[in-house]
Structure 1
């Protein structure tokens, strides 16, 4: 113990202080909010008792009420479509771009930098851009589709129940593709070139080299990336607030946005907390898988 204290005092353990203080602050703020949210999901909460800790305990009644709500399963279905569509689109496009930028050509560095614009852009700004692109009256997408003869009249993407959810999926794919490209590029750069050369000498074509070398060597990276994608996608809120507001008639509503609506539009704080706890369980499971994937990658 004395040696540890002396290490801190002489400056050699200053890095522990720099890491420890923010970590304690993060655990205190985030942990208390999560615990408070879990507590609310087991209580009867209204406007007058929101700031109190001691409230009527209702057990699993809030969970039974949410699961029996006719809106629940369609919204959870939308959430599944949004998550799978977003993660698949981001991964496939990111992988294609990562492989493309492995080739060296003039201007590749600057072109790769352009793809990073969407990653650093705030969600509300991205939502505003796609709100304009998807506009039924003067949207750019409708204009080009009509010029190409693909459609003969404007489509109201954001207010049409058949397209509203997919409009947000497309926007989210655009927002997260560059992040996937960066991580996959790092994974591809770590694969020894000798393996590809040896496989080529053995007569393996590009697709065979991809399935026998690239995918197995990047298994941990892909697992970590998909876990992060699930976490980020389940946290996506800004695009729904900017583009569809969960409409029309919940056609594009998802669990995370519904939790906000329950709490701050319908003032059903217990219901909103209950939906949030369900999402937290999924996020924690994805986080655990992400940690395991990164450990396997380090060991490998």
Structure 2
């Protein structure tokens, strides 16, 4: 008892207690639900048997059913297109704004904070906002495109199979871009000005300085931004629920929304859990790739 009190007085025991509490929290609120999700993916679980302690085991039948589902290929393509387009444009636009606000001019900090305000908004609020912007009858986007002459008639973004996924992509790019901008701006701020001054004295132009100094010095930051972008995009649900609800005819259904539909509309929790497990494996794969790449960079 005396040793325990001494360790707490020295701060060692208190640090250990905090770590144990954090691990206990993760185990209770992340580990156990994850384990339960994996277990029910191999079981037949519906609204009548959800409250039971034991469920009928079906082995890999749920996984085979998801793979054989006619909607699976559409969902896979939609998820890849949605993730790739969102992450790419969030990164490119966010990098452009980070470079712009990295310049010294009055109000740069305030404008950067104003951009970040969009990212802290709840996803459903952003979805409702873009629902109005993308309205086929009185939406602002159609009004601007018609005024500029890019289109001859209004586009019904949310109900047209050719545009429904694009509508959610546009909203997600706007939603996630400020987060990319802030992370990239932090990385840019860590590059010493001496490197740019030396390169400028050697005759390097703006593009050469960007290619030979900015990109190499930003490698770890760029990797983190892209990895987080993929993870956050694969978790995006609110925008689909608020804008298209996966329709029409599954044209904007992605994996995360399909998992919700199977679980809470069709009450097929086993098949819904299968999609969640697959997405968890994908996210872990992305995380491992990023960790291994940064580890190799550190060794160099």
Please classify the TM superposition score into its range, dividing by the shorter chain length. over 0.9
Retained in 2: the 8 A contact 1:224–1:289?
Answer: no
Q: 1:203 Cα shift?
A: 2.0
Offset of residue 26 of structure 1: 2.4
Q: TM-score, normalised by structure 2?
A: 0.93
Tell me whether 1:64 sits opposite 2:64 in the alignment: yes
**TM-score in terms of structure 1 length:** 0.93
User: Matched residues in 2 for 1:4 and 1:115: separation?
Assistant: 49
Once the two structures are overlaid, the 10-residue window that deviates more, 200-209 or 245-254, is 200-209
Give 1:110 shift: 1.5
Aligned residues: 300
| Cα pair distance change 1:31/1:74, threshold 3 Å | same
Deviation at 1:294, TM superposition (A): 6.0
Per mean C-alpha deviation after superposition, the further-off stretch among 206-215 and 260-269 is 206-215
CA shift digits 1:166-216 (9 cap, x unpaired): 110110111111110111011111111122122222222211221111111
Match of 1:180 in 2: 180
Aligned positions of 1:55-94 closer than 5 A? 55-94=55-94
Displacement after TM superposition at 1:37 (Å)? 0.6
Long gaps (5+) in structure 2: none
2:174 pairs with 1:167: no
Specify the alignment match of 1:280 in structure 2: 280
Change (3 A) 1:95 1:3: farther
Shift of 1:147: 1.9
Instruction: Give how far 1:44 is off.
Output: 1.7
Matches within 5 A, 1:43-62: 43-62=43-62
Secondary structure of 1:116's counterpart equals helix
SS class of match (2:57): coil
The two structures, once aligned, show a CA RMSD in angstroms of 2.1
- Give per-residue Cα distances to partners, 1:34-75, cap 9 Å, x unaligned: 111100111122222212342222221111110111100111
Residues 102-145 of structure 1 show CA distances to partners (whole Å, capped at 9, x for unaligned) of 11111112111110111110000000000000001111111122
Query: 1:20, 1:82 → 2: CA distance?
Result: 39
Does 2:167 align with 1:155?
no
- The residue number in structure 1 matching 2:135 is 135
